[in-house]
Amino acid sequence: MTRLIQLLSLSSLIILFIGCLIMPAMPLFWLASSSLKLMIIRFLFIALLGIIVFMGTPKNMTIRTIIGLFASLLAIWALSSTYNESIQALDGLAFASVGIALLLSSLEPAEESQINWNGAISLIAPLTVPLQRRAAVYMVVMFMAIGLIGQDYQVSLIKQALQ
């Protein structure tokens, strides 16, 4: 499932990159920006996701932790920038999907940590499943909090407009 999410977010970035590069005036890409800054960001994320999809998740826990922190910050930035209309809607959704795909890949248990050299199941392997569940619950709570904050802000704007 993690590979599917990674491939889907990679394909969405590739479609946005090629579409905004070749035909930015097409109605499909009206909700995506064709600025050079976002094209470079898209290209870097395509390269990063391509490396992770085709070479696998890094086995070093420090690198995985850094990727996880970067991914969660990316998802938060993408959603808040889309809400504040700093970036277009399709760009925000694509960057949020990249953040979620990277976060899932960083939480994926390493293949070497599941089986030790004797072939028996390691003690670390059962601990990774609750970690994934906790991370999934954390992500759901974070997205709900962002939605509630945004909804509260919209309600205050409506009240100000009616007064």
Q: What pLDDT digit, counting tens, does each position of 61-115 carry?
A: 888 888 888 888 888 888 888 888 888 888 888 899 899 888 888 887 765 544 4
Lowest mean per-residue pLDDT among 14-23, 29-38, 141-150: 141-150
Please report, for the chain, the start and end positions of each structural domain, with discontinuous segments joined by +.
2-162
Residue 113's nearest CA partner among 126, 132, 100 is 126
* Bridge partner list, 121: 115
Each as own residue / partner, the long-range contacts of residues 135-141 (CB below 8 Å, 24 or more positions apart, any chain) are 135/103, 135/107, 139/72, 139/75, 139/100, 139/103
Question: E strand or H helix at 156, and its extent?
Answer: helix 125-162
Write out pLDDT tens, residues 39-53: 999 999 999 999 988
Q: How far apart are CA 65 and CA 149, in angstroms?
A: 27
Class of residue 16 by CB neighbours under 10 A (exposed 0-12, middle 13-18, buried 19+): buried
Q: How far apart are CA 68 and CA 62, in angstroms?
A: 10
Write out pLDDT tens, residues 141-150: 566 556 555 5
